[in-house]
Amino acid sequence: MLRPRIIPCLLVKGAGLVKTRQFADPKYVGDPLNAVRIFNEKEVDELTVLDIDATTEKREPNYTMIRNLAGECRMPLCYGGGVSSPEQIEKIITLGVEKVAISAAAVETPELIAEGARRVGSQSIVVVLDVKKSGLLRRQEVFTRNGTRKTGLNPVDFARRAQDMGAGEIVVNAIERDGMMGGYDLDLVREIRGAVSLPLTVLGGAGSYDDLATLIREFGIIGASAGSLFVFKGKYRAVLISYPNAAEKAELLGAPAN
């Protein structure tokens, strides 16, 4: 039986890990390799690492860091940040990463999705949609460059387009819920889920294991991703890496332990 995936999402800034709120106020939370080692011990389902400066600083992905992280991970790794060409996608896969996330470049040149999928296979191409409500009518819209640039694109339409172009997974990230720990935007998930049959992973807003369970209860096979939930403890946001243990996980998946 295929299981829902519970996925910590780590944000890289410079050489360290940070956690943001609504894509702002990065707070330092530790060293990436150290975090990977802790998540190995906790047997996490998958790990996502996003370099949040690479695209805005117009620089290449940090290949040395990616190689080190991929070699250390005993779980699948998805890397995103600064990826804008098929050559970069190939290179990142050859460093030992299972999945490459593209965001701004996918929006600006959707053909990159198709070319990436042709070269490395659809299963390794992840399209990340950063979404927030915008305009007088507060309609959901896709943003890029850490939430600073409007695209005018409706996330449902773009998710469908990404699927048609050959993406293997959609990650939908609710900007206004980032770091707020108030729960996922389930309406947004329903809309995207209704439009595509690709694996879907949801990011932005999870503040408790109940939030993960609520998502999984409604959507079944889905990726429940979170940042703050797995790196902070308590209302003062003390840094402490955590992840549901086998019993907690069984409970929130509504499945027998094992």
Partner 1 sequence: MIALVDYGLGNIQAFANIYNRLNIPVSIAQDGETLAKAERVILPGVGAFDWAMSRLNQSGMRECLDDLVMNRKVPVLGICVGMQMMATRSDEGEVPGLGWIDAEVKKFDMSNSNQHTRLPHMGWNDVAASEFDDIFGGMEDGSRFYFLHSYYFAPARQRDVLGITDYNGRFASAVRSGNIFGVQFHPEKSHRWGVQLLKNFAEL
- DSSP code, position 182: S
CA-based angle 154:160:161, to the nearest 5?
85
Of the pair 2, 247, the CB lying nearest partner 1 is at 2
x-or-dash string of contact with partner 1, 180-209, rule CB under 8 A: -------------x---xxxx---------
The CA distance from 115 to 121, in Å, is: 9
Return d(Cα 141, Cα 139) in angstroms, integer: 6
Nearer to partner 1, 70 or 102 (CB): 70
Cβ 169 to partner 1, closest distance in Å?
A: 7
DSSP 3-state assignment of 100? strand
32 is a site residue for partner 1 (CB under 8 A): no
Q: What 3-state DSSP class applies to 145?
A: coil
258 is an interface residue for partner 1 by CB under 8 A? yes
Only one of the segments 17-25, 96-104, 133-141, 238-246 lies at the binding site for partner 1 (rule: CB under 8 A); that segment is 96-104
Nearer to partner 1, 18 or 215 (CB): 215
CB closer to partner 1 out of 11 and 47: 47
**Residue type at 220 in one-letter notation:** G
| Rounded Cα gap, residues 171 and 88, in angstroms | 20
Q: Which of 130, 178, 185, 211 is catalytic?
A: 130
Which positions from 123 through 162 interact with partner 1, judged by CB under 8 A? 123-124
Is 86 one of the binding residues for partner 1 (CB under 8 A)?
Answer: no
111 binds partner 1 (CB under 8 A): no
**Contacting residues for 254 by C-beta, under 8 A, at least 6 apart:** 213, 216, 217
| Tokens of residue 151, six digits | 């695209």
State the minimum distance, in angstroms, from the CB of residue 175 to partner 1. Answer: 24
75 binds partner 1 (CB under 8 A): yes
To the nearest 10 degrees (0 to 180), the angle between helices 111-120 and 155-165 is: 40
Which one of residues 73, 128, 131, 175 is an interface residue with partner 1 (CB under 8 A)? 73
Segment near partner 1 (CB under 8 A); pick from 50-58, 102-110, 121-129, 139-147: 121-129
**Residue 121: CA count within 13 A, CB half-sphere:** 5
Q: Is residue 164 annotated as a catalytic residue, yes or no? A: no
Task: Quickly count helices (H) and strands (E) in the chain.
Answer: 10, 14
43/57 with CB nearer partner 1: 43
Q: Report helix, strand or coil for 103.
A: coil
Closest listed residue to residue 185, CA positions, set 158, 157, 218, 161: 218
Active site residues: 130
| Residues at the contact surface with partner 1, assessed by CB under 8 A | 1-5, 40, 43, 45-46, 67, 70-77, 93-94, 96-99, 118-124, 168-169, 193, 197-200, 219-223, 258
